[in-house]
Structure 1
Amino acid sequence: MAQRMIWNQTAYFGAGSITVIPEELARRGFTKALVVSDKVLVETGVTGRVTALLDGVGFPYEVYSDVLPNPPIENVQAGVAAFEAAGADVLIAVGGGSPQDTCKAVGIIVANPEFADVRSLEGGAATKNPSVPIIAVPTTAGTASETTINYVITDVERQRKFVCFDPHDIPVMAVVDPEMMSSAPRALKVATGLDALTHAIEGYTTAGAWELSDLFHLKAIQVIAASLRDAADGDPAAAEHMALAQYVAGMGYSNVGLGLVHAMAHPLGAFYSAPHGVANGILLAPVMAFNAASTGEKLRDVAAAFGVEGAHTMPLEEARAAAVEAVAALTRDLGNPTSITAVGATEADVPALAKAAFEDVCAGGNPRPASVAEIEELFRSLL
């Protein structure tokens, strides 16, 4: 069986690495950029750290900053219009998952205008042309969208989020600079860190996992387990570790898929605008417990990565339980909510939430197949 792995052509890491952007733009022959970001990042000066570099060398650009959390179809369409009006030939995504995902959809549609309705990009759309070149500059240590072939868009009219995966959308270059993440509020660092942990654990246990993806995911789990608490509290060294770990997790899960945590988190975002990482944090430990018997020895490895003493010698059932508790303890310590009620979920919505989760593309990668009734039971247990 052939296994495919796709990553960026080029990636830069480390504090201050954004300074390479102007020379890379020149080397690649680009003439004008559309910088895709959001209003908060513009107002706080984070986006300005990149545009100042462009100003410094006189590189032309325009900024599209209307991206919303859980970006809707309309954001993508407006971004396409902004790109075409600007006469740009390169996209620079500055932000967390929302600007990154919007930028990918914009780049794909500009290059493949037959998908301008956006909805037709769901799943593995048969695009013919690579995206407009994207330089991705993440401002959170979580989504790893800068190195994945995935993006998620919200269909507000139909009250659902849909996942797109397309090798044509991967940014040509990622610049993972932890200093671009330093001003994020603690709550955002927690949420995005839990998102990264979810990517690593789901990627490690998903049905499509294999030896190479396992290397990435297990290392990411080890680093996140050791670094997330300190990174959330502002420790620079821990923040740099998190910036790298979330990227490494992305290298894996983008190529092998995820599971039920993401399938259940997506409708929470679509129904209630729940931050994606917060929703993942609520769901991760309970779904790990649900999946435990179908994960072989892998939760033993997760327990060991969290530093559980004797993880490799205790009975397997105990090791699995220890892994679940280690993740649950981290979630509690960080102050993430532990119930879906905290993000607005109600008993009345559970059947619709479960149906949406069952139909989500991520559900197919779960190591334990789950029925709609089982997903309903999981949601109800978290009210």
Structure 2
Amino acid sequence: MSYSYTFPGNVRFGEGAFRELPASLPAGCHPMLVMGKSFSLSAEGKELLELLEPFHPVIRIGIPAEPPLECVDELIALGRAEKVDSVIAVGGGSVIDAAKAAAALIPVEGGVSEYFSGARTIPGKGLYFAALPTTAGTGAESTNNSVLTDTATKIKKSLRHPQMKADLAIIDPMLTWSCPKSLAAASGLDAFVQAFEGYTNPKASELTRALSAQAVKLILKNLKAACEGDHAAQNAMAEGSMLSGIAFSQTGLGAIHGFAHPVGSLLHVPHGVACAVLMVPVMRWNEPVCGERYRELADICGVPDFIAAAEKLAQDLEIPSDFKKYGLKQEHFPFIVKNCRSASMATNPRPFTDGEVEDFLEAFC
């Protein structure tokens, strides 16, 4: 086996670490600050805005979920017009992904749709990029891709380049403390899925498995309590999400994410919820080839059966078992079959034929 690793340039973790942001930015920089709307109203959000006042940042508050290409183009246009030289993202996965894409594309020609379609390729390093997550879930602060949505075609996929990784990632658990319970559950289960999909991925190495295993253990143990507002559990979730993101950004994911993108974009299912609904059925599909890995994770987590533990976690967090409430129908199957063939699906341990995809989806209608 051969492999290479791409990590964020500088990672800082700990309560209150967000206050280190001003001293960590390039001297004299003129940044664009992209911040989640709800977080901007929190005490920490207001404090961060005050801390950044000396930089006179160009501020954009609020990014739609599953960020559309139009939103990224707005950020690109704003950044070019204001001649910013750096981008700071403070928010959940959508905020970080949109800002990350903008940071990559502000200094080059063209709009995001040209890069999303493959008509243009990202040439290299974009603007300096700092990411501060306010949810414990997506791991977007650790990855070198942005998950975006073309609302016209309903195609959701990643814009990717090795140099899109953050120059600075500050993971401060305090920023997640005000996260609503439903969002904490969905984003936490997304992190859980990312962790074990990274662990079972054919591209995993001993290093990435060590990171993934610790992430799985932290999340399985702490997610439920974190959703109830336990600060110690929320801190553990922030660390688990970070480790999960670092690991899966090296390996790729699997069929849960392969399915979640087209299902989510077509039916407007929140990404974390889509992953959580798909989680156990895909695990059972993969069990014939992943059984040993699941047994390893069971031992690591101190549970008798890893799939059963995952299923109980989803039930405890009141995750639905299908997509009926979102209106999934057989007529949607051709779109999902066509658009699930992503890099995530390509590295799923057990392949799906098109017919098997349709059979698999029947249980969710």
TM range (shorter): over 0.9
SS in 1 for 2:351: coil
* Cross-structure match for 1:360: 342
**How far apart are 1:46 and its partner, in Å?**
5.3
Question: Matched residues in 2 for 1:124 and 1:12: separation?
Answer: 36
Q: Which amino acid aligns with 1:205?
A: T
Q: Are 2:17 and 1:22 aligned?
A: no
Q: Which amino acid aligns with 1:331?
A: A
SS in 2 for 1:84: helix
Q: Which amino acid aligns with 1:31?
A: C
SS in 2 for 1:131: coil
Q: Which amino acid aligns with 1:32?
A: H
Q: Are 2:84 and 1:88 aligned?
A: yes
Question: CA contact under 8 A between 2:36 and 2:92: conserved in structure 1?
Answer: no
**How far apart are 1:117 and its partner, in Å?**
3.8
Q: Are 2:219 and 1:249 aligned?
A: no
Question: Matched residues in 1 for 2:333 and 2:355: separation?
Answer: 10
Of the three residues 37, 40, 43, the one matched with 1:42 is 40
Q: Which moved more, 1:104-113 or 1:260-269?
A: 104-113
SS in 1 for 2:52: helix
**How far apart are 1:110 and its partner, in Å?**
1.3
* Cross-structure match for 1:12: 12
Question: CA contact under 8 A between 2:13 and 2:171: conserved in structure 1?
Answer: yes
Question: Matched residues in 1 for 2:119 and 2:206: separation?
Answer: 24
Gaps of at least 5 residues in structure 2 are: none
Q: Which moved more, 1:165-174 or 1:42-51?
A: 42-51
Question: CA contact under 8 A between 2:129 and 2:167: conserved in structure 1?
Answer: yes
Q: TM-score, normalised by structure 1?
A: 0.91
**How far apart are 1:364 and its partner, in Å?**
0.5
Q: Which moved more, 1:298-307 or 1:238-247?
A: 298-307
Of the three residues 345, 364, 376, the one matched with 2:328 is 345
SS in 2 for 1:295: helix
Q: Which amino acid aligns with 1:140?
A: T
Question: CA contact under 8 A between 2:115 and 2:159: conserved in structure 1?
Answer: no
* Cross-structure match for 1:162: 157
SS in 1 for 2:66: coil
SS in 2 for 1:200: helix
Of the three residues 99, 102, 105, the one matched with 2:101 is 105
Q: How does 1:287-326 map to 2 (within 5 A)?
A: 287-295=282-290, 297-309=292-304, 322-326=305-309
* Cross-structure match for 1:316: none
Question: CA contact under 8 A between 2:93 and 2:140: conserved in structure 1?
Answer: yes
1:318-371: CA deviations, max 9, x gaps? xxxx222211111001112221123332232123223221x2221111001111
Change (3 A) 1:92 1:124: farther
Question: Matched residues in 2 for 1:46 and 1:350: separation?
Answer: 44
SS in 1 for 2:32: strand
SS in 2 for 1:350: helix
Q: How many aligned residue pairs are there? A: 365
Question: Matched residues in 1 for 2:215 and 2:97: separation?
Answer: 22
Question: Matched residues in 2 for 1:304 and 1:121: separation?
Answer: 41
Question: Matched residues in 1 for 2:72 and 2:234: separation?
Answer: 30
Of the three residues 321, 328, 334, the one matched with 2:311 is 328
* Cross-structure match for 2:228: 233
Question: Matched residues in 1 for 2:119 and 2:321: separation?
Answer: 33
Q: Are 2:68 and 1:72 aligned?
A: yes
1:248-272: CA deviations, max 9, x gaps? 0111100110010001000122112
Q: Which amino acid aligns with 1:7?
A: F
**How far apart are 1:29 and its partner, in Å?**
2.1
**How far apart are 1:106 and its partner, in Å?**
0.4
Q: Which moved more, 1:251-260 or 1:125-134?
A: 125-134
How high is the sequence identity, in percent, across the aligned residues?
31
RMSD of aligned Cα (Å): 1.8
Of the three residues 185, 190, 196, the one matched with 1:190 is 185
* Cross-structure match for 2:169: 174
Question: Matched residues in 2 for 1:264 and 1:296: separation?
Answer: 21
Question: CA contact under 8 A between 1:125 and 1:164: conserved in structure 2?
Answer: no
SS in 2 for 1:284: helix
Change (3 A) 1:341 1:154: same
Question: Matched residues in 2 for 1:69 and 1:204: separation?
Answer: 27
Q: TM-score, normalised by structure 2?
A: 0.95
Gaps of at least 5 residues in structure 1 are: 310-321
SS in 1 for 2:275: helix
Question: Matched residues in 1 for 2:358 and 2:309: separation?
Answer: 25
1:16-57: CA deviations, max 9, x gaps? 1001011112xx2242111112333334565433212112xx
Question: Matched residues in 1 for 2:44 and 2:359: separation?
Answer: 42
Q: Which moved more, 1:269-278 or 1:294-303?
A: 294-303
Q: How does 1:194-205 map to 2 (within 5 A)?
A: 194-205=189-200
1:147-185: CA deviations, max 9, x gaps? 111211000111110112211111100110111111111
Question: Matched residues in 1 for 2:278 and 2:52: separation?
Answer: 41
